[in-house]
Amino acid sequence: MKDTQRIAPKSSDPVVRHAAQLLSGVFERNLGLTVPVDAAAAGDKVIAVGVEPMRDERMSRIRIRTKSISIAGATPREAAQGCYRLEDLLTAGDGALETGERTFTRMFSPRMTHSSVALDKFPDDELDRIARAGMDAVLVYVGKSPDMTRNGRIDMNDLVRRAETRGLDVYVYAFDAEGATRCDPTAPDAIEQYDRLYGSIVKNAPGVKGMVFVGESVAFPSKLPDMGGYYWNREKGKHAFGFWPSPDWVDWLEVVKKATRKYRSDFDIVFWTYNWFNAPETNRVALLEKIPTDVSVLVTFEMGDGFGRYKGVPIQIDDYSISRPGPSRVFESEAEVLARRGIRFYSMANTGGRTWDFGGAPYEPAPYLWLERFRALRAAQGTYGLAGLMDSHHFGWNPGVVAELAKEAFTRENSDADVDARLFDIAARRFGREAAPKVLVAWRDWSEAMRLHAADSCDQYGPLRVGPSYPFTFPGEALPPKPSGKWMFLRKDYQLPLWR
């Protein structure tokens, strides 16, 4: 590699040019080599980066010859991914590369994530990290106004532009629950209401790819007799708005489609079934049998198996846990309907490495459980056509063991055995080849221990999820006042679930 002198982007696309610059930085930072970008370079001692037709739209290819390297992708985004794959090869060992050709096909799209820096904050280097991890979309909470996130106001169009340069889409997570309570999809002016609530977000930033809608954040005032109130004022004996698969979600989806797609015809409406995972299967399936086929559906991968035991230990975890790799029966029952109806669907899988088991941890070092989930997700694509993933929710993701394994696992050319073997390479790079076997033993023990995790409650409220903000006291000291009496899980009379 010391003979290589230039990186030559053979495309004027800004995604390709940016990836070439990042690759140049890797040579300098990691290998101490100066390999500048020169679009006019040709012949030997050149790394050429371009776009070529390929058999899959998410494929990239690297050809390593004795005196030159060529990188190509089916699209500019995949050409950039080819550059990132070369970075992986360069930084995995001593920088020596074997001659030959390899292809890399990303299995899932979108792979969307929140930020690892701070909620809704995406500086340029964070966008670079996300693209290098093999993800292709960022996720931003937006509500109240088209530029207002849960962490302050941002310029959405600027985020879209900077994300596009890295080959990333921008998805919005709708979170204005209060605004949603005032929008009736059956009202004569329903389109105008939802235009102000959601259409305005797309109008403000038409480059936004799609929006995630989950019941608790978008619940509307249903007129059905068995529905009554929101989760903060639910009528006794009735289902809370947003927490039940009521058939009038079909009308709601039609209105939301009209309100958003008049600003972007291919806008991806992502309908998340999270809030009624504990409803009877007949009700959940009945709704999915009726929704329009031109929306996407998001199904959480491991939720819904309820209570259980592992080696005699009672386990009660409903919400975002790696202690159960999945899939749950809830996922399978909904995926069966979506596959049969030809509806594009994604899964909330936390495959960035963080769940609500340990919300404050950068990632959860239980790699053998993550490998089980990765294998199950790969199988779900083959069985049901699972198209995309939500890699994180709220807590974001972090570069680390889990994210590296996910990138390998979600590459079509890699077998399950290839991914398993990669775990040793990751351990060896971090701890040395001699120590790697001992590290794998520790990781296996931690993975087994994680199966025994029993949360503070089935929604993981408590110190593991909340982290350092949870009160920590020494023996004999009085507990501080609870943060807020309004939160249901802090009340002694609080009983789950809301939907019963």
Query: Which pLDDT value is given to residue 245?
Result: 98
How far is C-alpha 449 from the chain's CA centre? 25
Write down the pLDDT at residue 19: 98
The per-residue pLDDT for 30 is 85
pLDDT tens profile 146-187: 999 999 999 999 999 999 999 999 999 999 999 999 999 999
Pairing of strands 69-73, 111-113: unpaired
What is the rounded end-to-end Cα distance, in angstroms, of the chain? 64
Q: How many residues does the chain have?
A: 500
φ, ψ dihedrals at 18, nearest 5°? -65, -45
Q: In Å, how far are 58, 101, 108, 378, 408 from 411, measured between CA atoms? A: 10, 16, 9, 10, 5
Classify 423 as helix, strand or coil.
helix
pLDDT of residue 326: 92
The whole-number pLDDT of residue 359 equals 72
pLDDT digits (tens, 9 = 90+) for 328-353: 999 999 999 999 999 999 999 999 99
For 52, residues 6+ apart whose C-beta sits below 8 A from its C-beta are 61, 72, 73, 74
Our CA angle for 453, 459, 464, nearest 5°, is 50
Positions in the chain whose pLDDT score sits under 70: 1-4, 93-95, 306-307, 316, 318, 454-474, 479-500
Record the tokens describing residue 238, joined without a space. Answer: 């009735």
Q: How far apart are CA 483 and CA 485, in angstroms?
A: 7
Whole-structure pTM value = 0.92
**H or E element that contains 254:** helix 249-261
